[in-house]
Amino acid sequence: MSAVADLARGLPAPAVAPSWSRNLLLDATHTKHDIAPPLPLPAHDTVMRSFVFRLADIASLKQRLPGAPAATTFEVLAALLWRARTVALALPPDEITQLGIIASFRRNAALRLPMGYYGNACVPLRAAAPARQRHGRELGGRRGGDDTEG
């Protein structure tokens, strides 16, 4: 986008030359089959909702975690929403629930991507667990009020 902005400002060329360099992200073990298929959509009606979490809300959620609250804001919110959705759907305890996200690894220094790299640098990730592990638990895995794993 920076290259496009430079050209839109009338520069004769981008300040940083664009670089595709896709070969830096592929290795001999990668195949198109390594990528998990998309998560299936629910068969029942769903409702879209938006939520606002203030810094104080995030801090409160992190304080509920066992031990030091080292989880990131994303991790805390992802866990909360995964659990809330599982509970709302009233899934059977043995049904496998999944959380799917797209994670960027563009800032991973080990990749040594060139300054002008403009390709994608993201990967789909998925976590799975039986619904029973999402029901009736506080964040961090505790059941309401006790520290047993149950």
pLDDT at 29 over 60: no
* Residue 58: inside a domain: yes
**Mean of the per-residue pLDDT values of the chain:** 78
Tell me how far CA of residue 8 lies from CA of 2, 4, 88, 115, 118, in angstroms.
Answer: 10, 6, 48, 20, 17
pLDDT band at 145 (very low <50, low <70, confident <90, very high): very low
CA distances, 16 to each of 2, 3, 104, 112 (Å):
8, 7, 21, 16
27, part of any domain = yes
Whether residue 142 has pLDDT greater than 80: no
Establish if 16 belongs to a structural domain.
Answer: yes
CA angle 84, 87, 93 (to 5 degrees): 135
Q: Does residue 149 lie in a domain region?
A: no
Asked, for residue 91, whether it belongs to a domain, the answer is yes
Range in 10-19, 24-33, 38-47, 128-137 the model is least confident about:
24-33
Question: Which pLDDT tens digit goes with each residue over 30-49?
Answer: 555 455 666 666 677 777 88
Q: Is residue 139 part of a domain?
A: no
Report the domain count for the chain. Answer: 1
| The model's pTM | 0.63
In DSSP terms, 124 is beta-bridged to: 102
Q: Which residue has the higher pLDDT, 75 or 135?
A: 75
Residue 128 within any structural domain of the chain: yes
Instruction: Tell me the pLDDT tens digit for each residue of 73-127.
Output: 988 899 888 988 888 888 889 998 889 888 888 888 888 888 888 877 888 888 8
The answer to whether residue 141 is domain-embedded is: no
Domain of residue 118, residue span: 2-133
